[in-house]
Structure 1
């Protein structure tokens, strides 16, 4: 039997029999109880520390948060320096975590209010005749009955990942239905009319025929490649795989930018360019690119977002920590390729890469849509336009290690609604 257990039993015995003891013995017992209580408290605190350490392993410690307990204060209370530091660290992390949870609760409450307001707004717009596309046609051609565009939209054999990523990111916006129904109409002959930029007062009406969303023969089929690259083996060029409306948006971008629906012309580009074409003056642009410029030899080296300078890093952190789909639409892109090397020049460069502690490969020179950001767990969900049915979840740190640029637009809701009314007045 340990000394502490013996003291505990003596304490219970005294209490049950109500013995009368001398002041000296009572003082000794009081000190023993205090020592016993302190020992139990410290032991319990260590167990608590171990549990909490595991629970908040992913919680980010914010160094700016005021310390509730100073290490030296805890030291004076009998804690070891190691335990005092752990208590201080956990307290700070818990406070940061609590603030994040509070932000999430506030966001959930506001989301409910915003969703109700958004539904009411759509009802009013429909009553005023500002929608060209019925809700039934929207569900049929642009979204599934569960509004799950993501599981039914894939890039095929055309190199327009940036465009598909931009369309997918747009489909993740709560404003997607309003934007599409206000800017797209289905014509009696089966063609489509799309106003580009969407909802813009200066938008132009683009007609997309059924033939323009069909697969196209590749005029460069088996044509010799550039330098040592192999010939183009794609006999047919396919539109995005998904509902007809998504193919219409893809073709409308091509026709708006190049004057014709030619799938070869749309290969290679930037998601921000696509979002600018779609959004016009309804969007404000934000491009965060990580590069290193050597002014002596005039070269620009691509880097990952983890290598951003302090100013750009703060902007990126602000975007991630305050990401709100009500106002932001975002994509991310990887570097175009690995650093030049003799090995690569001789044997060829890899087309994909993998970061440590993450069992998935990412393509070089590829765009991904950002579908969700959780600031509490500090996780970003991205979608590969080649397979949007499988979400990719990354920590903030992994996200910065994978991607070299973030291209986002901020929705100007007031201008969005104002432009819509002006467009209708102009038509009338």
Structure 2
């Protein structure tokens, strides 16, 4: 028999705790976001479709992006037990300098289109977190302004070799003069990929108004207020070079780029040089022999060649081939701190986040980027503790199994 009694108010109140209401709408939204996907959904609600789809979309059928994200979901972790993991060390050394976490912010173009704070928010958040920030050639904040936003932190620059080479050379000199310590020489954009969402949305820089654009913007007046009351959207580091936005964009894609261009930039650049957009073991070996400091395994976030190799799947083979010679970084498809841990376990020195950062930016400006970093940090720490490791150096391939849904009919 269960003994029953009249409810006692004091006992009821002891079990109940009413949460203090948060009156700041932005803080309330960001606090409720527990994953990068949560930030993505907030960003989608708050950003006009053309700008959101530019970030969220990829090339053609978007198979490369879908497969890259699926590759991270299709992993199996192998934890070690009975380890004291009260404290873990997430710090890394990459390209000759420190990072408090094993990831940095990737270069993204048109960033102020997504949210008006743009690269300033990214650079400031990266500096506060002790991680590197990478500025794109097609960034909407200048090299010098990024340095002001992140004066004591590590700033990196991503270079497109433009068909007017003197423009690229001038950017290299400016980045060096501003104290940027690492240059990403990008090699996967001889021509632009077919980004069909952008074509269907009539996407342009700056945005062009149409009836559908206006209709989509009506429930998002804050975005248009920010856009119309802040400085003109332009490629900030290229604003003095002349030409329209479209002309500059076309100039950034040059099918004649070659190893001779890499040699010239290597001679010009005083810091660390990494090649971004490597997608085969053969190219990784050739670049290691050439003498670059590192490579970024990347298919440009799935935005160039659809059906390109999955960087995370390529990682173990590249590590076996050149891991002892150069530093290997990975991007594309990272949406969780566990994805980052898996990359480090399989031999990557570092990782880069692009869309994850932009989802946070669109969701809440600088505070949204801070929230992105906080979410990934929490996931990294928790994953490391559950795997039974104290530091990144303790992660090994034995901690991860890559499960593949896609098998090759024949080996190349």
Q: Normalising TM by the smaller chain, what interval?
A: under 0.3
Q: Normalised by the size of structure 1, how large is the TM-score? A: 0.25
Greater length-normalized contact order (CA 8 Å, ≥ 6 residues apart): 2
The structure whose residues are more often strand, as a share, is 1
Q: Normalised by the size of structure 2, how large is the TM-score? A: 0.25
Larger radius of gyration: 1
